[in-house]
Amino acid sequence: MSLLPDTLCLHRLARMPYLSLPTGPQCKVTYVWINAFGDKTKAKTRTLDSEPQSVQDVPEWYSTYRENEQTFELTLMPVQMFRDPFMLDPNKLVLCETKKLNGTPALGNRRSECMQVMEAVKDQKPWFGFEQEFMLQTLEGLPFGWNGMNILGVKREITPQSDRGKVARIFGGDGNVARTRKSVVRYGC
């Protein structure tokens, strides 16, 4: 049995008293953006003197970082703000568009291209959406609730008759309900 779950539990417990301390008027804002290669998110946090009421209240910021032997200097331009579910209120998560210091879209900035296309076809009222799928995993990398006895790759047709009465054994259902209530309703993401 791994000791890692106990360590993670202690980590969360050790953090809780600090999260409940009064913050005064200051607010931590975490800027989040997609790296130049489009395969990772980057983030950095700063403290503002007061809680921003809208994304327009969040100032642009600058970032310099190295990745794959290249140096990137970017302007982080806030475009969307959410309540921070990790650092709690009044802290914010801010999604950013990235531009080079000369104002042109940074490598990997697809938002700029998308905005141009959407502006060109706005009279057609384009409609699109995103689908989100996720799977809860154990620290060993197995699906949550997997007993390890079945062999991966073996398919079994699931019908209402074959699984009648087993709905209560859907693992992670409570977590999904909690996530949607907490994330979607409370934090707007």
Q: Which fold would CATH assign to domain 22-129?
A: Ubiquitin-like (UB roll) (3.10.20)
All structural domains of the chain with their residue ranges:
22-129, 132-189
- Write the pLDDT tens digit of every residue in 105-147: 888 888 888 888 989 998 998 777 767 666 777 777 777 766 6
Q: How far apart, in Å, are the Cα atoms of 65 and each of 29, 34, 44, 97?
A: 19, 13, 11, 16
* Residue 115 host element (H or E): helix 111-120
CA–CA separation, 33 and 78 (whole Å):
9
Whether the model pTM is above 0.85: no
